[in-house]
Chains A and B, each alone.
Chain A
Amino acid sequence: MSSPIISVSPAEAVAVVMLLVLVIYALFGGADYGAGVWDLLARGPRATAQRELIAHAIGPVWEANHVWLIIVIVLLFTGFPSAFSAIMTTLHVPLSLMLIGIVLRGSAFTFRSYDNSEVGKRRWNRVFSIPSVVTPMLLGAVIGAIATGQPGRALDSGLPVPLFATWLRPFPLVVGLFALNIFAFLAAVYLTLETPDPELQADFRLRALVAAVALGGVAWAVYFLARSEAPQVFQGLSDSPWGRPVRYGTGAFAVVTLAALSLRWFRLARVTAMVQVALILWGCALAQYPLLVPPDIAIGNSAAPPVVQTLLLIALGAGSVILLPSMYYLFHVFKGHTFQLSRVSTDDPR
């Protein structure tokens, strides 16, 4: 496939939007999960301050970030119903557990503010942070399982729907770990800009560096396992004409992020980290293109009738007019302060 895409069908346009929104979810909502990870792992003399910073950082935006996940799911079941049906039946267990995790996280975060006793705070902290670790692993496991082609093959075989065999395998579980690592990395990078306190900043800078190094290792594990378990993805990443640029681009941005973190250029680190994660996700999606559920279900043969796709695109356009300015305003109000922090300098009086 060497010729450029000249015309894009409505179904392909919806699929591209779906991927774009999924990437936005990972960049914004994923950091909320990652923050929960650091909440669970808060240690040392500033543990309480770290937890408070995390609660303060997620508080205004975590609910709004779920909008992106909902858009992805609605686009999937409206635009590509047979793909949705295949994914939801064969991956029923991890998706249900993910949903329960999201519900528990949300409830715990709310209950924490009403149950002010020490016991209550710790209890709800636990209920918040443990699902924050498990849910990204399940999300990654679902994506990894789809990539292996097991769910698609399970449907074709005509046997009863398997509950665990599709996702309790090495590749999906490693992809789950990868997703968790990505989210924790993003959260740590974002959190360095949320606080003017240089000691807290140093804490999260260290966490971001550790997560970035771990990310490199886990990424290699995913790439290596893909060779045997998800050969399609592996081929896409290594052989196709865009595969090498994406891999090298991801590596380059990873190196720049590490350097920026080391030099305490946190705003640059945030931008390059986001680009790095976006490239990772685009790479995985392009590797599978045009299949939505390997080996058989593609964008073309699972799409709803063209009129549905066209209506979806119109609805997306109309919705964006309200959604995008609102989201911008939300982040401007609550995250605007993260753009004003300069790098830590000893001569800064504040």
Chain B
Amino acid sequence: MTNFSQAPVRIIHVAFQVMVACGLAMALVSFWAAAVAWRSGRVPDGSMFLSATVLISPLGMLAIEAGWTVTEVGRQPWIIQGVMRTAGAVTPVPGLWISLLVYSTLYVFLGLVVALLLARQFRASLRPDEIVAASTPEGAH
């Protein structure tokens, strides 16, 4: 007899609300930009709007992770509903914690390298006044 209510409901509920909230926030900022563009013919560039776009930029990733939490926690304890439980699908290979550790370390390392290289790119890039100076013939040197 399958018992579908064994998955932890509170986690799924919160994750779902987070996902929807992130989506709504991003949609609102998009509508804001669309409304301003409709009325003035340009994309808004006021400091409030730009701060808002910076703040919502991680929300896409957050919404995706929250959505995955909903599906993956919601399916427990089944990996195939009614047919196979997650515990029954685990590989018989011993010492899987080593595998988990190695892959996690690898990707943390790669993430750090990407962050460092991006930071270096930002630091090496021209400031706005340097761009203006470089684009005018007299200012270039």
A-B contact count (CB 8 A): 32
Check if A100 sits within 8 Å of B113, measured CB to CB.
Answer: no
A100 to B102, CA, bound (A): 9
| B99 part of interface (Cβ distance < 8 Å) | yes
Partner of B95, one of A88, A100, A163: A163
Check if B117 sits within 8 Å of A161, measured CB to CB.
Answer: no
Q: Which residues of B contact A114 (CB under 8 A)?
A: 117, 120-121
| A92 part of interface (Cβ distance < 8 Å) | yes
| B88 part of interface (Cβ distance < 8 Å) | no
| A160 part of interface (Cβ distance < 8 Å) | yes
Nearest-neighbor residue (CB-CB) of B124 within chain A: A116
| B92 part of interface (Cβ distance < 8 Å) | yes
List 7 tightest A-B contacts by C-beta distance, closest first. Answer: A92-B93, A114-B117, A161-B93, A161-B92, A89-B93, A107-B110, A89-B91
Check if A89 sits within 8 Å of B117, measured CB to CB.
Answer: no
Check if B94 sits within 8 Å of A161, measured CB to CB.
Answer: yes
| B133 part of interface (Cβ distance < 8 Å) | no
Chain B interface residue count, Cβ-Cβ cutoff 8 angstroms = 14
| B126 part of interface (Cβ distance < 8 Å) | no
Nearest-neighbor residue (CB-CB) of B121 within chain A: A114
A100 to B98, CA, bound (A): 14
- Summarize A's interface: helix, strand, loop or mixed: helix
Nearest-neighbor residue (CB-CB) of B110 within chain A: A107
Check if B92 sits within 8 Å of A89, measured CB to CB.
Answer: yes
A348 to B91, CA, bound (A): 62
Q: Which residues of A contact B121 (CB under 8 A)?
A: 114
Partner of A96, one of B94, B99, B113, B117: B99
- Which positions 145-165 of chain A face chain B at CB distance < 8 Å? 160-161, 163
| B61 part of interface (Cβ distance < 8 Å) | no
Minimum CB–CB distance from A112 to chain B (whole Å) comes to 10
Q: Which residues of B contact A160 (CB under 8 A)?
A: 92, 94
Q: Which residues of A contact B27 (CB under 8 A)?
A: none
Chain B 72-113 interface mask (CB, 8 Å, partner A; 1/0): 000000000000000000011111000100110010001001
Check if B106 sits within 8 Å of A103, measured CB to CB.
Answer: yes
Minimum CB–CB distance from A181 to chain B (whole Å) comes to 28
Nearest-neighbor residue (CB-CB) of B91 within chain A: A89
Partner of B93, one of A100, A111, A163: A163
- Which positions 112-127 of chain B face chain A at CB distance < 8 Å? 113, 117, 120-121
Can you list 14 A-B contacts with CB-CB less than 8 angstroms, sorted by A residue number?
A92-B99, A96-B99, A96-B102, A104-B106, A107-B110, A111-B113, A114-B117, A114-B120, A115-B117, A115-B120, A160-B94, A161-B92, A163-B93, A163-B95
A161 to B94, CA, bound (A): 7
A160 to B96, CA, bound (A): 13
Q: Which residues of A contact B120 (CB under 8 A)?
A: 114-115
A276 to B110, CA, bound (A): 38
- Which positions 110-135 of chain A face chain B at CB distance < 8 Å? 111, 114-115
Q: Which residues of A contact B110 (CB under 8 A)?
A: 103, 107
Minimum CB–CB distance from B94 to chain A (whole Å) comes to 6
Check if B92 sits within 8 Å of A111, measured CB to CB.
Answer: no
A103 to B120, CA, bound (A): 23
Other A-B pairs, 7, CB within 8 Å; known A89-B92, A92-B93: A92-B91, A100-B102, A100-B103, A100-B106, A111-B117, A114-B117, A161-B93
Q: A96-B99, A100-B102, A114-B121 are in contact. Are A107 and B92 (CB under 8 A)?
A: no
A115 to B117, CA, bound (A): 7
Nearest-neighbor residue (CB-CB) of A124 within chain B: B113
Q: Which residues of B contact A96 (CB under 8 A)?
A: 99, 102
Minimum CB–CB distance from B15 to chain A (whole Å) comes to 29
Chain A 155-180 interface mask (CB, 8 Å, partner B; 1/0): 00000110100000000000000000
A104 to B103, CA, bound (A): 11
Q: Which residues of A contact B95 (CB under 8 A)?
A: 163
Q: Which residues of A contact B117 (CB under 8 A)?
A: 111, 114-115
Minimum CB–CB distance from B56 to chain A (whole Å) comes to 27
